[in-house]
Structure 1
Amino acid sequence: MNGDDRNPLARGRVATRLPAQDLDRARRFYSEQLGLQPAEEAPGGLLYRCGGAEFQVFRSEGNSPGTFTQMSWEVDDIEAVVAELKRRGVVFEEFDLPSVYGGARTHDGVVQVENYLSTRAPGARGARGAWFRDSEGNMLGIGQPLDLS
C-alpha cells in the first residue's frame, strides 16, 4: 500500500510534467507521431489525458537530459503499438540494459526486462519495454507487463 492514509501526498494524484523548448514543435510531435490531442491548452503548456492519468508538456528554457525514462505508458500489445508508432515516424532507441534489469539488449526497439515492477499488474516481475525520445529530447517508454512467476 501507500503507507499512512493521513499523508497528503499518499492521497494526491501523480501527474507528469515534461519540458519543451518549442511548444509548437512538441504539439506537432504528440499529434502527428503519437496521435494525441491536448485536452486543455494554455500559453505555457499543453495538458494531455491518457487512461485516467494526465501529463503536461510545458514551455521551458532548459533542456531535457533524456538520459532516463521520464514517462511511460503500459499497453496490452507492445509489438502492435511499436509498429504503429514506427509507421508514424517514431524512432525507437537500441541499447543494452544494465545487469540489474537482466542485461538484455533491445531488438527492433523492444526488450524483455526481467527485474521490473509493474504498476498495472501487481505481482508481475517482468515486462517488455521500448523507449523513444519526443521532439524535445524527453525519454518516453512503453511497457507491457509480463508475469514471469
Structure 2
Amino acid sequence: MTTDDSGRLARARVATRLPAQDLDRARRFYSERLGLEPVDERPGGLLYRCGAAEFQLFRSAGASPGTFTQRSWQVDDIEAVVAELKRRGVVFEDVELPAVYGGGRTEGGIVEVQGHYAGSGARADRGAWFRDSEGNLLAIGQPVF
C-alpha cells in the first residue's frame, strides 16, 4: 500500500443499508410509523436522511435475521420518542439484558445498558428496540452521563 492509499476508508462516507423484501410495505412503515420520507428513490431502493446521517432500504430477496441492532437513532429524550412512536403504532421489544450489559429488563419499552458504547463519554445508554415491517431490528438510544 502506498502512502496515497492509507486512510481511504477513514475518509469515506459510511452507508447503512437495510434489506426490504417488500419495498412498498417498508416505505409505508417508515412514513406512517416513524414519520420519515425518502429524500431520493430508485426502483430498487429508498434513501432516508436523519440529521447528518443517511440510510437506505433496498429491495432484497433475503430476509433480515433481526438478531442484532441494525440501525439506531440517538435522541435527547427517549421517553418522548418512544411515546410518540407507540402512538404511531410501533411495538417495542421486551428485552432482558445479559449481565455483561448490566442486566435489567425493559420497563415501558426502555432499559439502561451499562458501559456499552465507546467514545460517547456516557456511563450508560438507555435503549429501546423495535422491528420494522421487514424484520430489521432498530433502536432508539439516549446517553446517560
How many Å separate the matches in 1 of 2:52 and 2:118? 17
Task: Report Cα offsets for 1:72-116 as digits up to 9, x if no partner.
Answer: 000000000000000000000002011111111111110011122
Aligned counterpart, 2:137: 139
Q: 1:118: Cα distance to partner? A: 5.9
Q: 1:117: Cα distance to partner? A: 1.5
Task: Report Cα offsets for 1:116-148 as digits up to 9, x if no partner.
Answer: 2166xx32131110000000000000000111x
SS in 2 for 1:127: strand
Taking structure 1 as the reference length, the TM-score comes to: 0.91
**2:7 is the counterpart of 1:7:** yes
Aligned counterpart, 1:45: 45
The percent of aligned pairs where both chains have the same amino acid is 74
How many Å separate the matches in 2 of 1:90 and 1:37? 16
Ranges of 4+ aligned residues in structure 1 off by more than 6 Å = none
Taking structure 2 as the reference length, the TM-score comes to: 0.94
- Is contact 1:110–1:129 with CA below 8 Å preserved after alignment? yes
2:128 partner letter: A
Task: Report Cα offsets for 1:27-59 as digits up to 9, x if no partner.
Answer: 000000000000000000000000110000000
1:82 partner letter: V
- Is contact 1:46–1:58 with CA below 8 Å preserved after alignment? yes
Q: Tell me how many residue pairs correspond in the alignment.
A: 141
- Is contact 1:31–1:37 with CA below 8 Å preserved after alignment? yes
Superposition CA RMSD, Å: 1.3
How many Å separate the matches in 1 of 2:37 and 2:6? 36
How many Å separate the matches in 2 of 1:47 and 1:67? 23
Instruction: Return 5+ residue gaps in structure 2 as ranges.
Output: none
How many Å separate the matches in 2 of 1:17 and 1:78? 24
1:35 partner letter: G
Instruction: Return 5+ residue gaps in structure 1 as ranges.
Output: none
